[in-house]
Chain A
């Protein structure tokens, strides 16, 4: 069943239209990736789902239209957004960042258990739990951003370029952990990437965006193996 169903989605930054009516679906438990060049509307797509930009069209999460809702209300439905640039609370400690991730939840014992679980996925965060988040390396901040998103116990995670600005080895590590999270938690993910290769490797389905429109979609392996698509859109 479709967990997320987007129909005719348009998004605007003030007067400028960034998405020109896109459609896509994401099945419960699946990973879908949105690929495209700079300015294609990938980040906007994620921001539109969280109602951080003005939108038109339908965004149904679990059957419920979220258009026009406040961002924090959308989040409370179980959508965790790992934003572009990671969005860590730099002056708060690693542990406080994780606690903030669980802001919508009340059971203290469960929250504490989940913090331990995040530390199990990302042992480096455990080592740095008392440290100010701003002092972490880029890779560690990305881990913290994903960890914070997990603290929501999300049904859907929106990930905005988790590979951005990181060394290839760190990217491998983070994608390995995302794979494990998917296996253990069954969390659905909508993944935006410029690094098409690694995203197609993880995802089940892929959509290709170009200047605010979907130009191609299909199963990841089909897209990856299509010579023409690769040359025209993915550039490798």
Chain B
């Protein structure tokens, strides 16, 4: 039973990181109908920025906050400069731009910081003042911090004027313009927020997977799986989906499960994410919490 709880809690921790990535992806999907394939690499780049701040001798929390803020600004700039010109281009062009961003961030990170893996410190102290046999301090901190961030985002969208305007701009751009909302800026703001949330995810996952330019490739895949499982039309669904994927992944990867099925599933964890993606797309394309979209033809 303890083992089960340990696995579940650790899964929730890693899952809440997937939730950050899933939410970032869904926010952009809602506004543009496209998956931002570069979301993971943007988060990786943000983490390197935090690492650079750490190298300057800044405390880890200061580095965290500065990196998240810088990511927000960078997200806005990327939307304005790179994404906006292809806004009305065919779908394929937009996807190519996203993939291009992915490759550029990956290579530029490798060029600046090299491809060697680097240890990244946890935001949370080893000693939280109490101990638990079920969950380590970093994992506990990850769950608490992501829940706090997600709650803030939720409150922002639900109760602020700009949050409402962003929802309106994503749902119905024409009508949003007709009430005086600058839809373009709302999109840019969405990119900024998504980049900032991704940065939180990157900085939280780095102590677990180590920092290197490819550290987000797996995380992004799990994030996509989470977003699809929860439903790409539902931000809350994406968050829950991310957590579920984290927990499921941890269960599946445990040796006891491998023992039962007779081969090493731990090696197939990433495959599990892909199977989940394909399974959801085949059998429940709107996810668990998504709306069924009916299009008239």
Partners in one complex: yes
What is the interface of chain A, defined by CB distance below 8 A to chain B? 50, 52, 70-72, 75-76, 80-81, 83, 87-92, 96, 99-101, 103-104, 148, 152
Residues from chain A with a CB closer than 8 A to the CB of B177 are 52, 70-72, 75
Q: Would you give 9 A-B contacts (Cβ < 8 Å), ordered by A? A: A71-B178, A72-B180, A75-B178, A89-B172, A92-B168, A103-B165, A103-B180, A104-B180, A152-B180
> What interface size band does chain B fall in?
10 to 19
Residues of A within 8 Å of B180, CB to CB, are: 72, 75-76, 103-104, 152
User: A52-B174, A87-B172, A87-B174 known; A101 and B179 CB under 8 Å?
Assistant: yes
Q: How far is the CB of B210 from chain A (nearest CB, A)?
A: 41
B171 touches A91 (CB 8 A): yes
Check B182 for interface membership: any CB of A closer than 8 A. Answer: yes
Closest 10 CB pairs of A and B: A87-B175, A104-B180, A71-B177, A75-B180, A81-B178, A103-B179, A72-B180, A100-B179, A72-B177, A76-B180
Chain B interfacial positions (CB closer than 8 Å to A) = 161, 164-165, 167-168, 171-172, 174-183
Asked if B174 contacts A100 (CB within 8 A), the reply is no
Across the interface, do A92 and B179 meet the contact criterion of CB distance under 8 Å?
Answer: no
Across the interface, which residues of B come within 8 angstroms of A71, CB to CB? Answer: 177-178
A100, B183: Cβ atoms under 8 Å? no
Which residues of A have CB within 8 Å of B161? Answer: 99, 103
- Inter-subunit contact A100/B182 (CB<8 Å): no
Q: Are A90 and B171 in contact (CB under 8 A)?
A: yes
- The one of A50, A76, A83, A96 in contact with B164, judged by C-beta atoms closer than 8 angstroms, is A96
Residues of B within 8 A of A104 (CB): 179-180
Q: Which residue of B lies closest to A91 (CB)?
A: B171
* B117 CB to nearest A CB, Å: 44
